[in-house]
A and B are shown apart, each in its own frame.
Chain A
Amino acid sequence: MIEMRGINKTYRVRRREAGLSNAVKSLFSRRCTEIPALRDMTFTIPDGQIVGYIGPNGAGKSTTIKILSGILRPDSGECTVNGLTPWADRRKHVSRLGVVFGQRSQLWWDVPVIDSMELLRDIYRVPEARYRENLERLTALLELSDLLKTPARMLSLGQRMRCEIAAALLHSPEVLFLDEPTIGLDAVSKLKVREFILEQNRLCGTTVILTTHDMQDVDALCSRVLLIGKGRLLLDGSTAQIRAMAGENLSTEESVADLYRRFGI
């Protein structure tokens, strides 16, 4: 169970006008603007749900994920994931957590993927039997057998993403955060990744939070959608509810764009 209650987070950004004279001026007086990234964010996600966390760029999605992963400390508010406060009990919390950041890699660049997997096994202290079992299952489902012995730098984006997802699941996490897992993938890889996420959720009951801009991901995977904008939670419901709100005969994509406009975000 994931709970967020009244979480606030503000970033300070230094700004200046364009041009050399303003650059010189900013050497003497710097103006800081406070950007509220999250305002009074509150939601609860029960075990085993796949939730789509959507919103335009800069809405606060990644900030939420970082707070939930224990990387970032909010300014105020409470948060528990399966009874633990992420930033306070970081090590215990992250040992039950799997994370995939679509735009960053966790595999070691120069060595075969299998070496990265074995390193993760040791870091998470996965017992050998369970490691073998998980690796076999992941290899079969994600079709990794040819990829494991290849250095990560030689993989295509789609191949690498499949390996990234496998790497995040070796330690049987209870909760999985996927931050834009299908970004840049071709149609076949996208379908494969989606199919796998559903399978993982069905078999292992893994709770999944998915941030994405791809509404087809949301349609295919999520039973529930949280829509956020400018740091606030705007909508909490199913994809069907979102379509119903937007009006007749619109795809999820068009409905969401319509909602963005309507909320002015």
Chain B
Amino acid sequence: MKKYLSFFKMRLMAGLQYRTAALAGLSTQFVWGGMEILLYRALWSAHPERFPMGVEALAAYIWLQQAYLTFFALWQWEGELAESVRTGVVAYELTRPADLYGMWFARSLALRLSRGLLRAAPVIALGALIPAPWGLRIRISPAAFGLFLVSSVLMLAVVCAFVMLVYALTFFLEDSRGIMMLGAPVADLLGGGIVPLPFLPAGLRKMAELSPFGAMQNVPLRIFGGDIAGAEIMRAMGLQVFWAAVMVGAGYALMRAGLRRVCVAGG
């Protein structure tokens, strides 16, 4: 276990040194969040009765989404990993007495945390300064807050399991940029990245909530805003556990199969 932890620490250190990137990301996220708030406010003032979410829940969703963006952003890939399969640098990783899936999972997780940690707190602080009802406030009970934290961890597991599945596919496709490019917008829509899932038409919403993408940001963000509660939370978290387990299993099996037929060319 220690080796995966060190691997995690390494990626975290490598990621934390980009201060300017964090600063740029921070301002982007704050401005983007502000624009979204303005947009939804316009929508709300036109038809308040047709709004599918509480205004406070929506505001919490948007600010927290901006703060934690890099934790679940599926358009961010660790280019180096897929690249290492394409170019053969992966050969080095195979000469290590460690499991490749474990090493890469730790690495993906650390990449997301390192990009997010520097910018989450300032966005949250700025979001909290916005006056009610459009600012970020904690309105849920401590118990629900606890569930929010657990579900955030589950979200990270689901996200990393999903990207690992794509990296494992690289062993068969040689280049996975295609699936990454096609997959990212679909995942963004079904995951509640473009609009929160309650804003989708009923049928699509149902499908999205059951899909692996609905087990990502959708769950913790809606718990935090109080948009879902009680049995709904349990059901959503159950789906998170289910998808994490299924995708870790599938990714692991796929990677094993890929490694068996691997052919490291050149050199």
The residues of A with any CB-CB pair to B shorter than 8 Å are 11, 62, 66, 69-73, 90-92, 94-95, 97, 99, 101, 103-106, 108, 110-111, 115-116, 118-119, 122-125, 179
**B91 touches A (CB below 8 Å):** yes
Name the residue of chain A whose CB is nearest to the CB of B97.
Answer: A95
Residues on A with C-beta less than 8 A from B94 are 69-71, 90, 94
CA distance A118 to B6 in the complex (A): 8
Give residues of chain B (91-133) contacting chain A, Cβ–Cβ below 8 Å. 91-92, 94-99
- Add 17 more A-B contacts to A71-B264, A123-B6 (CB < 8 A): A62-B267, A66-B264, A69-B94, A69-B95, A70-B94, A72-B263, A94-B96, A99-B95, A101-B91, A101-B92, A104-B91, A105-B89, A105-B92, A115-B13, A118-B6, A119-B6, A124-B97
Chain B nearest Cβ from A225, distance in angstroms: 20
Chain A nearest Cβ from B75, distance in angstroms: 22
CA distance A103 to B266 in the complex (A): 10
**B19 touches A (CB below 8 Å):** no
Contact of A104 with B14 in the complex, beta carbons under 8 Å: no
Instruction: Report if A123-B95 is in contact (Cβ < 8 Å); known contacts: A73-B260, A104-B89, A110-B17.
Output: no
28 contacts between A and B (CB under 8 A): A62-B266, A62-B267, A66-B91, A66-B264, A70-B94, A71-B94, A71-B95, A71-B262, A90-B94, A94-B94, A99-B92, A101-B267, A103-B267, A104-B92, A105-B92, A108-B10, A110-B14, A110-B17, A111-B10, A111-B13, A111-B14, A118-B6, A119-B6, A122-B5, A123-B3, A125-B2, A125-B3, A179-B267
The number of chain B residues with a CB under 8 A from chain A is 25
Residues on B with C-beta less than 8 A from A95 are 97
Q: Name the one of A71, A94, A110, A122 contacting B6, with C-beta atoms under 8 angstroms.
A: A122
CA distance A115 to B14 in the complex (A): 10
* Contact count A vs B, C-beta below 8 Å: 75
Instruction: Report if A119-B7 is in contact (Cβ < 8 Å); known contacts: A110-B14, A111-B13.
Output: yes
Contact of A71 with B10 in the complex, beta carbons under 8 Å: no
Chain B nearest Cβ from A178, distance in angstroms: 12
CA distance A110 to B14 in the complex (A): 6
Contact of B97 with A123 in the complex, beta carbons under 8 Å: yes
**B34 touches A (CB below 8 Å):** no
Contact of A11 with B91 in the complex, beta carbons under 8 Å: no
Interface string of B216-237 (1 = CB under 8 A from A): 0000000000000000000000
**B88 touches A (CB below 8 Å):** yes
Contact of A91 with B92 in the complex, beta carbons under 8 Å: no
Residues on B with C-beta less than 8 A from A108 are 10, 14
Residues on B with C-beta less than 8 A from A104 are 88-89, 91-92, 267
Residues on B with C-beta less than 8 A from A106 are 92
CA distance A115 to B9 in the complex (A): 10
Residues on A with C-beta less than 8 A from B7 are 119, 122-123
Residues on A with C-beta less than 8 A from B3 are 122-123, 125
Contact of B98 with A123 in the complex, beta carbons under 8 Å: yes
Contact of A11 with B98 in the complex, beta carbons under 8 Å: no
CA distance A106 to B267 in the complex (A): 15
Contact of B10 with A91 in the complex, beta carbons under 8 Å: no
9 shortest interchain CB distances as A-B pairs: A122-B6, A95-B97, A106-B92, A123-B3, A91-B97, A99-B95, A62-B267, A71-B94, A119-B10
Contact of B263 with A11 in the complex, beta carbons under 8 Å: yes
Contact of A122 with B97 in the complex, beta carbons under 8 Å: no
CA distance A118 to B10 in the complex (A): 9
Give residues of chain B (204-225) contacting chain A, Cβ–Cβ below 8 Å. none
Chain B nearest Cβ from A209, distance in angstroms: 14
Residues on B with C-beta less than 8 A from A122 are 2-3, 5-7
Contact of A123 with B264 in the complex, beta carbons under 8 Å: no
CA distance A90 to B95 in the complex (A): 8
CA distance A116 to B92 in the complex (A): 13
Q: Name the one of A72, A94, A179 contacting B262, with C-beta atoms under 8 angstroms.
A: A72
Contact of A97 with B95 in the complex, beta carbons under 8 Å: yes
CA distance A122 to B103 in the complex (A): 12
Name the residue of chain A whose CB is nearest to the CB of B80.
Answer: A109
Most chain-B CB neighbours within 10 Å: which of A11, A69, A116, A123?
A123
Contact of B97 with A92 in the complex, beta carbons under 8 Å: yes
Contact of A115 with B267 in the complex, beta carbons under 8 Å: no
Give residues of chain B (1-50) contacting chain A, Cβ–Cβ below 8 Å. 2-3, 5-7, 10, 13-14, 17
Residues on B with C-beta less than 8 A from A90 are 94
